[in-house]
Structures are given as C-alpha cells and as structure tokens.
Amino acid sequence: MQETYYQREIETMAPDALRALQSEKLRRQVRHVWENVPYYRDKMKEAGVSPEDITGIEDLYKLPFLSKADLRDTYPYGMLAVPLSECVRIQSTSGTTGKRVIAYYTQHDVDLWEDCCARALVAAGATKEDVVQVCYGYGLFTGGAGLHGGSHKVGSLTLPMSSGNTERQITFMMDLKSTVLCCTPSYAAYIGESLAERGYKPEDNCLKAGIFGAEPWTEEMRRGIENSLGIKAYDIYGLTETFECKEQKGMHINEDHFLAEIIDPDTGEVLPDGQKGELVFTSLDKEAFPLLRYRTRDICVLDRTPCHCGRTHVRMAKPMGRSDDMLIIRGVNVFPSQIETVLLNEGYAPNYRIEVDRVNNSDTFDVFVELLPEQFTDTVSGVTAMERKLTDALRLMLGISPKVHLVPPKSIERSEGKAKRVIDKRNLHD
Amino acid sequence: MAIQQLTAFVENRRGRLVEVTRLLSDAGVDLRALSIADTQEFGILRGIVDKTDEALSALQKEGILVQLTPVVGVRLTDRPGELSRALGVLDDAGINVEYVYAFLAVTPGVADVVLRVQDNAAAENALTAAGFEIM
C-alpha cells in the first residue's frame, strides 16, 4: 500500500537539510529562552554558556539539563517564555507526586502540537473518510485535546468521547462505524473485553487502527488488543514528540520540532546512537513553554537506520523503563517492565512486588506474584513447579535468577495510579 | 463416587490459618477430616467438611483462594496393616497416590481415609474389587 504522510516534505526531508533546519531553529530557541526565561538563563550562566556558544545542534551538549523538579519549582509561571496574554491554552500533568506541572501554549504551539498528532493519525492510515473515536480524557490531560485537534487537521470525523462510559463508547463505535480508536492501551483492552462480553466478534466492528499511549504497555498487550479488536495497534509516546509508522520498528521522533539525545543517567554524558540510556528532549520552536534538554527519565535506544516508510526522522525504541525505576541487582540492570512482560507471557496478572535487600554482602532478589484462582492446584509439587517455571522464564529475560513467591490473589497492595512495585531495602544499610 | 475436598491456599505467616478456621466456624461448618501441607512460603489446607457449599462461599467471600478437589474416601477396618493393604491394591493397579490423610475417628472399629489420586474412578474400582468400602 502507498505510504501516506501528513507533511511529506518535512517527514521525508533529507538528513542534511533536516540538520540545517534543526541548527537554525535551535539557535533561535536558545536565544528566545535566554531572553525570556530568567530561571534558565541563570542555569546557563552557571554552566558558563551563552547563546553565542550554540551555533548548531553539535553544541547542544553544552546546555544545562532540565528535570521535572525544575518544572515543579518554577510553578506556575517560572518557565513561561511569552507574556501570558499571548497564551491561549494550558494543559497539565496528573500531579500525582506533589505539585502539578503546567504547560502553556500559544496558538502557534497548539498548531504545532496538532500537526504532530495529525502525522500520527495519517501514519496509522487515517484520512478524511475516517471516523476517529477519541476516548483519551479531555480536559487538562493532553491526550484528548491533542488527538482531537490532530483529527480535525486530517479532516476525519471526530468523536469527542473522552474516557469512560464504556456502554456509550461501544454504542457510538458500532452505530457510527468508528475506524480509528485513540485511548490508553489498558482502556483499549477493556473495550475489547467488553465487546466480547456483548457477543461481538473482532470482525463485527469497523475499526482498522488504534493509537494507544500515555502509559507503558508491552508487545504482548499490543497483540492482545490487535486480536480482540481486529485492528493494527500503534504506539505513541508523549503525544507530541513521537508516533509510530506502519513498519512499527520504533517511534519516529518529530525531529523538526524536537531534538532527541540519549545520555548516561548517572554522568549526563551524551551516548552514541544505538546505546541504551536516558532520553532527553529539546524543543526547537515552542513559543510559550520551550524546554531545553529536558530529562524524561525514560530509558531507551535511538535508531537512525533508514525506515522503509520513507520517513527520515530518527526512531526511538519503546522505553524499557524509567531511569528512576532501574534497579542494579548483582550488577545487572533490571527494569520492572521486563518482569511485567514475563508475567503476562506466562499467564499471570501483572500484579507483583519486587523486594531487593543485601544479606552478607550479596543482593537478594525476591519477586512476589499473585496466583490466579484457575492456576491453583491442591498439591505442593504443583505450586512449586509453577514457581520454578516462572523463575526460569524470569532468569531468561533478566539474566539473573529471582526467588519467586506465589501469593494469594489480591494480597499485593493496589494503589490508585502508579503502583509502588519496588521495595529496595539496600539503601538502609548504606 | 468421589467426595469433594475443600482445598485452600494459605500463606505461611502468623494468623492466616486461624483466619481460615474462624471463617469456617463462623459459617457453622464442621471439619470431618483435615490435613495441611506446608512449605516455608505457603500451606495448602485440605479438609472434608459437612457443608461444602457453605464452606466454599464463606472462604471465597473473604478472597481466600479455595477450590473443590474430588478425592476418594475409603472405609478401612481399624486394625494394623489395613491402610498398607489398601495402598498395595492401588500400587498393584499402577495408581499413584499424591497424598493421604485420615478422618477423625467417630465410629469405633472403623478408620476412614482420604486418598488423592490422578484417576478417582480407577482407584475406586480397584479398591472395591479388593473388598474395600468406598464412602
């Protein structure tokens, strides 16, 4: 099938031309921040850098980093780079940990954002003939507004459903013949189950594609959603910075608007392409809320090999975890998301707790997993055989062997939102 | 005909076992036979009760992992060598016994035991043929 693009010229731009464009935009963006954001100007002064030192993207490494803590500390106006009267919108994070982070948008910024979402929709096959059902939350969260605006730009019929009310989602989906579904992967899985419960088969709906993001998910979940809805499922990270094409070999970063770097999370040193490290984004043409070298805390790999879809923009692998979450156990890097993948593969619910401790100078590594009612057997040998099988599967994935403990269902604490899955007791002894 | 055994997964930590037995007593359930297999991590409580359905729902309601397992009940004469003779019959028939435990002695001269095997019908046939009474 012919590949389609929302902005062909930019999406398939020759690498040299793209670099030149990025360098020019970076110089302007740094100047804009220097002149308008005293907080970051002070950081630059402290680092001994001035706008003149940034002649192109090769000088990016000279700029100081920003972290989520900076955004929280400067709440609500400290990072704003234009007069408030120029802003037309705010969006905000969930604010689960302490203060919220607010991002401001001028009309230019909203357009840029919606263009990025339109690229994602077109890459997933959306046209003006399509019916796009947006069941990301509307409101402060970026999901609903972003894909809503993107869908308008593509010219698709947009169903502004927001999240929840599954009964109504299904009614609209079937009656209005939705062809593209946008929501979180967990909600997509839930819609799939709900359709099956009502006796619908995957071929009964008109959906062809889904754009799912805003929370971590695994390839296993992707396959499950694709089978239950009869669609191709596309990953999206951050909703503005990246999107996935039909090749599905990583997500293209919108490099005309964002520069991506991979750094060593401990030293801050920039790592060569192909190496695993923390993803850092620099906006290139944001007016209201430009962020230079923002540390995402997500660990991933960049891939600059050419993509068969014809897009020249770099691809990022699905994040393997958060640098905050990464554990080093017996010298091996372990991400909770790897454990989750194994659990789903082996037929367990992704409810688990990891406990790490240090006993006699060596790390202990315990994984507690809930037994599902249908897995329970009445013999000790049956339960220990399951523990052994899960231990083997985890060792294969992680390279080290945990001690697996099967525990009764619902005995692992659930928390709203982000679960506390890791208990590292080693710090107490340091 | 197999009898239904109540099988519950119990974490091996303080207070868990008493919680399960209390739920059974609150539901007015009487234990006729009981066995607990335990490891360092967990225990598997197996019991024969007078009111199976009540016991099952009382435990399920509290989120305890519980299931019914069909097992063979066999009535032995209470004298040395009888259990050994019954197990010998199963061994001769090539039937592997996973576990065995005894009922509370209520009828003088009679010892009832619970047998967990892979194939209940085959075990019952073999035991009946050898003159044992199946419960």
Query: Does any domain span residue A117?
Result: no
pLDDT of A112 reads 96
Contacts of A378 in chain B (CB under 8 A): 5, 7, 44, 46, 67, 69, 116
Q: Report yes or no: A379 at the B interface, CB cutoff 8 Å.
A: yes
Q: Report yes or no: A380 at the B interface, CB cutoff 8 Å.
A: yes
Exposure b/e, A4-28, CB count within 10 A at least 16 = b: ebbeeebbebeeeebeebbbebbbe
Pair B94, B54 in one domain: no
Query: Does any domain span residue A118?
Result: no
Pair B7, B64 in one domain: yes
Pair B58, B107 in one domain: no
Pair A101, A19 in one domain: yes
Query: Does any domain span residue A200?
Result: yes
What is the band of A327 on the pLDDT scale with cuts at 50, 70, 90? Answer: confident
pLDDT of A96 reads 45
pLDDT in tens, A294-309: 999 888 999 999 999 9
- CA A211 – CA A119 distance, rounded (Å): 12
Pair A34, A84 in one domain: yes
- CA A60 – CA A54 distance, rounded (Å): 7
Q: Using a cut of 0.95, tell me whether the model's pTM lies above it.
A: no
pLDDT of A301 reads 94
> Which of B29, B44, B69 is at the close of a domain?
B69
Q: What is the mean pLDDT of residues A305-315?
A: 95
Closest Cα in chain B, distance from residue A350 (Å): 18
pLDDT of A163 reads 84
Pair B57, B78 in one domain: no
Residue with tokens 């007593």: B25
Burial class (CB in 10 A: 0-12, 13-18, 19+), B117: buried
pLDDT of A217 reads 76
Contacts of B9 in chain A (CB under 8 A): 371, 376, 383, 408
> Which of A240, A274, A305 is at the close of a domain?
A240
Q: Is the pLDDT of residue A179 over 90?
A: yes
pLDDT of A374 reads 84
Q: Is the pLDDT of residue A219 over 90?
A: no
Pair A276, A353 in one domain: no
Q: Which position has the higher pLDDT, A384 or A1? A: A384
Pair A282, A297 in one domain: yes
List the CATH number of the domain containing B19. Answer: 3.30.2130.10
Largest pairwise CA distance in chain B: 45
Cβ distance B67 to A383 less than 8 Å, yes or no, reads: no
- CA B47 – CA B116 distance, rounded (Å): 12
Q: What is the mean pLDDT of residues A102-115?
A: 96
Pair B38, B83 in one domain: no
Closest Cα in chain A, distance from residue B45 (Å): 8
Q: Which position has the higher pLDDT, A414 or A85? A: A85
Contacts of A386 in chain B (CB under 8 A): none
Q: Give the range among A113-122, A249-258, B34-43 with minimum mean pLDDT.
A: B34-43
Report the residue of chain A nearest B97, measured CA to CA. A379
Q: Which of B41, B42, B98 sits opposite A379 (nearest CB)?
A: B98
Query: Does any domain span residue A338?
Result: yes
Report the residue of chain B nearest A370, measured CA to CA. B65
Contacts of A371 in chain B (CB under 8 A): 9, 65
Query: Does any domain span residue A1?
Result: no
pLDDT of A1 reads 58
Q: Report yes or no: B75 at the A interface, CB cutoff 8 Å.
A: no
Closest Cα in chain A, distance from residue B46 (Å): 8
Pair A236, A298 in one domain: no
Pair B65, B91 in one domain: no
Q: Is the pLDDT of residue A417 over 70?
A: no
- CA B70 – CA A147 distance, rounded (Å): 55
How many structural domains compose chain B?
A: 2
Q: Which of residues 229-268 of A touch B (CB under 8 A)?
A: none
Q: Is A54 helix (H, G, I), strand (E, B) or coil?
A: coil
- CA A345 – CA A390 distance, rounded (Å): 10
Q: Is the pLDDT of residue A412 over 70?
A: yes
Q: Which residues contact A12 (CB under 8 A, 6 or more apart)?
A: A5, A310, A311, A312
Q: What is the CA radius of gyration of chain A?
A: 23
- CA A305 – CA A15 distance, rounded (Å): 11
pLDDT in tens, A342-380: 888 788 887 789 999 988 878 899 999 998 888 888 999
8 A C-beta contact, residue B42 and residue B12: yes
List the CATH number of the domain containing A205. Answer: 3.40.50.12780
Closest Cα in chain A, distance from residue B44 (Å): 7
Q: Which of residues 391-430 of A touch B (CB under 8 A)?
A: 405-411
C-alpha distances out from residue A347 to A17, A369, B41, Å: 48, 11, 21
Q: Is the pLDDT of residue A155 over 80?
A: yes
Going by the DSSP 8-state scheme, the letter that residue A74 receives in this structure is: T
Specify the pairing of strand A87-92 against strand A102-106: antiparallel
Would you list the DSSP string of A125-181? T--TT-EEEE-SPPSSSHHHHHHHHHHHHHTPEEEE--S--HHHHHHHHHHTT--EE
Pair B130, B84 in one domain: yes
- CA A418 – CA B64 distance, rounded (Å): 26
Q: Give the range among A210-224, A321-335, A408-422 with minimum mean pLDDT.
A: A408-422
Distance of CA B91 to the CA centre of its chain: 19
Q: Which domain holds residue B37?
A: 3-69
Cβ distance A380 to B37 less than 8 Å, yes or no, reads: yes
8 A C-beta contact, residue A279 and residue A97: no
What is the band of A415 on the pLDDT scale with cuts at 50, 70, 90? Answer: low
Pair A157, A192 in one domain: yes
Q: What is the mean pLDDT of residues A189-195?
A: 88
Pair B106, B96 in one domain: yes
Pair A210, A134 in one domain: yes
C-alpha distances out from residue A344 to A50, A169, A393, B124, Å: 50, 27, 11, 40
pLDDT of B38 reads 86
> Which of A299, A322, A345 is at the close of a domain?
A322
Pair B76, B53 in one domain: no
Pair A29, A97 in one domain: yes
In order along its 135 residues, chain B shows pLDDT tens digits of 679 999 999 988 888 889 999 999 999 999 999 999 988 888 999 999 999 999 999 999 988 999 999 999 999 999 999 999 999 999 999 999 999 999 987 888 889 999 999 899 999 999 999 999 998
The strand order across the sheet containing A277-283 reads A258-263, A277-283, A294-300, A321-322
Cβ distance A408 to B99 less than 8 Å, yes or no, reads: no
Pair A98, A175 in one domain: no
Residue contacts between A and B (CB atoms, under 8 Å): 42
Give the DSSP H/E element, type plus range, for residue B45.
strand B42-49
Q: What is the mean pLDDT of residues A124-152?
A: 94
> Which of B17, B37, B69 is at the close of a domain?
B69
Q: Which of A384, A405, A408 sits opposite B65 (nearest CB)?
A: A408
How many structural domains compose chain A?
A: 3
Pair A228, A257 in one domain: no
Q: Report yes or no: A373 at the B interface, CB cutoff 8 Å.
A: yes
Pair A213, A141 in one domain: yes
pLDDT in tens, A44-98: 999 999 999 999 999 999 999 999 889 988 999 999 999 999 999 999 875 544 5
8 A C-beta contact, residue B115 and residue B74: yes
Report the residue of chain B nearest A374, measured CA to CA. B67
Pair B38, B92 in one domain: no
Cα atoms in the 13 Å half-sphere on the side-chain side of B41: 15
Largest pairwise CA distance in chain A: 73
> Which of A240, A267, A295 is at the close of a domain?
A240
Would you list the DSSP string of A230-244? TSEEEEESTTTTEEE
Provide the mean pLDDT of chain A. 90
ipTM score = 0.82
| Most confident stretch, A13-22, A99-108, B39-48 | A13-22
Q: Which of B7, B39, B64 sits opposite A378 (nearest CB)?
A: B7
Pair B7, B52 in one domain: yes
Would you list the DSSP string of A95-116? --SSS--EEEEEHHHHHHHHHH
Q: Is the pLDDT of residue A430 over 50?
A: no
Q: Which domain holds residue A179?
A: 124-240
pLDDT of A429 reads 42
Query: Does any domain span residue A304?
Result: yes
Q: Report yes or no: B131 at the A interface, CB cutoff 8 Å.
A: no
Q: Is the pLDDT of residue A418 over 70?
A: no
Q: Is the pLDDT of residue A152 over 90?
A: yes
Q: Which position has the higher pLDDT, A224 or A181? A: A181
Pair B93, B49 in one domain: no
Q: Is B14 helix (H, G, I), strand (E, B) or coil?
A: coil
Q: Is the pLDDT of residue A264 over 70?
A: yes
List the CATH number of the domain containing B78. Answer: 3.30.70.260
8 A C-beta contact, residue A76 and residue A56: no
